[in-house]
């Protein structure tokens, strides 16, 4: 039977007691960080952008089949990323115990033991890759590469300046590529480029949030931040912001179905990027990237306007 370690109120004594299977599974699920799984929704991007491609299926049964394949692929990414989060927390458990919030993570708190964490991580990673391979062997291969890159990030790359953010961007690109392979869609160079640029934009703005927070609070959250300066991060954010807008604009000009008329979808994208910068820089928003994207009314409005403008333009000119 699993055991849990409960810290006494004064932080001095730890008590070990048996834990029910249901509670243990709840701790395992929490260690897999389900709040982070929303990132895997990017797997659907290739299917979403397929409305601007010639291969768009007209049969509703085919659409149902493609949606199911994309959904299964997204679940596989959730399983594999959750497994890697457990490996990461197992590696960082000692430093996490010194952090004011990370010490509450199940592995750092002793609620999930090292052997249990490795066992569950191996199970979920293997299951995710195998199921993805059943969808399409290429999808399974990309997911295996994704897991290997995540492990490399945990072991080495997250401590390397610039490479840490570039690796995160690469992981997003792999998600999109796997989603495209799962539904046999075309992962165009522009789609992958836009994905990489957006991921770099979000990555460097997040690093700036963290660096600013450390500067004011005096706490340490990431060792790599000691090698980042605020002016340098500002330069990186400025560069990738411009590159993100330009890469999407180029994609719009080269729309396979309606050509440059797709530029009508550019204003919501530009507003969304500028709105995010306003929240991070001017309003000093310290929420996570997911929280900002999913709860800020301005960001939600920009997303709705982008979808609506794309649908209207394709309906009118296609």
pLDDT at 159: 93
**Looking at the predicted structure, is the pLDDT value of residue 11 above 50?**
no
pLDDT at 15: 37
**Looking at the predicted structure, is the pLDDT value of residue 92 above 70?**
yes
| Per-residue pLDDT tens digits for 130-177 | 999 999 999 999 999 999 999 999 999 999 999 999 999 999 999 999
Q: Looking at the whole model, is its pTM more than 0.75?
A: yes
What mean pLDDT is predicted for residues 72-89?
96
Q: Which residue has the higher pLDDT, 21 or 313?
A: 313
| Per-residue pLDDT tens digits for 285-296 | 888 888 898 899
**Looking at the predicted structure, is the pLDDT value of residue 310 above 50?**
yes
pLDDT at 203: 95
Residue indicated by tokens 């945990």: 154
Cα gap 218→267, rounded to integer Å: 39
Query: For the chain, first and last CA: distance in Å?
Result: 62
pLDDT at 14: 39
Six-digit token string for 187: 């992962």
């Amino acid at each position: 039977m699993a055991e849990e370690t409960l810290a006494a109120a004064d932080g001095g004594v730890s008590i070990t007691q048996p834990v029910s299977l249901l509670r243990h599974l709840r701790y395992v699920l929490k260690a897999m960080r389900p709040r982070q799984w929303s990132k895997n929704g990017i797997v659907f991007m290739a299917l979403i952008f397929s409305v601007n491609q010639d291969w768009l299926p007209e049969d509703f049964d085919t659409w149902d089949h493609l949606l199911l394949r994309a959904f299964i692929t997204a679940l596989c990414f959730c399983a594999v990323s959750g497994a890697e989060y457990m490996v990461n927390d197992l590696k960082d458990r000692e430093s996490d115990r010194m952090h004011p919030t990370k010490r509450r993570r199940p592995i750092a708190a002793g609620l999930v033991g090292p052997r249990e964490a490795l066992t569950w991580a191996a199970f979920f990673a293997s299951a995710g890759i195998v199921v993805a391979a059943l969808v399409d062997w290429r999808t399974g291969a990309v997911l295996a590469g994704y897991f290997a890159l995540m492990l490399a990030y945990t072991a080495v790359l997250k401590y390397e300046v610039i490479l840490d953010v570039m690796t995160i961007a690469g992981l997003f690109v792999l998600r999109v590529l796997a989603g495209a392979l799962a539904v046999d869609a075309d992962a165009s160079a522009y789609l992958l480029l836009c994905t990489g640029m957006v991921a770099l934009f979000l990555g460097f703005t997040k690093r700036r949030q963290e660096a600013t927070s450390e500067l004011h609070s005096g706490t340490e959250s990431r060792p790599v931040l000691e090698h980042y300066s605020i002016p340098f991060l500002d330069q990186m954010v400025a560069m990738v912001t411009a590159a993100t807008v330009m890469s999407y604009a180029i994609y719009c000009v080269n729309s396979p179905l309606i050509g440059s008329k797709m530029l009508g979808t550019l204003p919501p994208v530009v507003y969304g990027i500028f709105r995010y910068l306003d929240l991070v820089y001017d309003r000093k928003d310290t929420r996570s990237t997911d929280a900002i994207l999913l709860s800020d009314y301005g960001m939600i409005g920009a997303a709705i306007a982008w979808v609506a403008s794309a649908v209207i333009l394709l309906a009118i000119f296609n």
